Structure 1
């Protein structure tokens, strides 16, 4: 089972969330979006995508081309998940996660979605572990 975690973070919250998720997925490869090549996508059984939300619920510019490329590719073989950080005081809390979720639901085997308020807290660890467990089980059952 080959897994990748690809994320983009501006303030460090999404990076921290990606790293804690990675700690629960030993053997998974973790990449900043700038370091990941979509040419390698077919090597993976599972892909987790991490993003924050920009402006009025938008996908950050650095993630937008990745989103569009995934949307155009055949990723039906992939089990996917998306996670992100945001602030609940914004009208469109974690809306970039919603955009990815909707696209992945149509184009891949979407397994899990996780939204976290800003920097994850110890109270979020149970949800994060459950997110990882569900993802791993779906990948295993898909291979």
Structure 2
């Protein structure tokens, strides 16, 4: 059994739905899962987990959510060597920089020496059944990377 953190931020509830879906899916796979909001999270605790999944929305036209700023900045001082990670998030395709916060987190987690277990998943607005299947695949890649 692996120890997996899902840390999320959600304004409309879309990303909370994604995070809770991931939590349920991983628990069905007999994983030890911690679910927390980014605003309550401690980036310095990430190396304590086998894997980390960040779920974030993109604010306005490509910005990180305000409640994710401190966590994101702290990541710059964290060494994630040996920690698997993946990133997913909901955004709106009407924005010129669709899902850019997902890209920012992916780049920073890579820069912090994390091991990217899956391609990032960007979802337009509220996740539908097909989107949740892609989220399941992301989780499966994370699990495969831990074996």
Deviations 1:32-90 (A, max 9, x none): 12332335323211001111001220111111111111121111221111111001111
Q: Is this contact kept in 2: 1:6–1:48, CA < 8 A?
A: yes
CA-based RMSD of the aligned residues comes to: 1.3
Q: 1:92 aligns with which of 75, 97, 103?
A: 97
TM-score for both structures, normalised by structure 1: 0.91
Q: Count the aligned residue pairs.
A: 140
Counterpart position of 2:70: 65
Instruction: Give 5+ residue unaligned stretches, structure 1.
Output: none
TM-score for both structures, normalised by structure 2: 0.89
Counterpart position of 1:110: 116
Tell me the secondary structure at the aligned position of residue 28 of structure 1: strand
Comparing 98-107 with 17-26, which one deviates more in the overlay?
98-107
Counterpart position of 1:123: 130
- The structure 1 segments of at least 4 consecutive aligned residues displaced by more than 4 Å after TM superposition are none
Counterpart position of 1:25: 26
Counterpart position of 1:6: 7
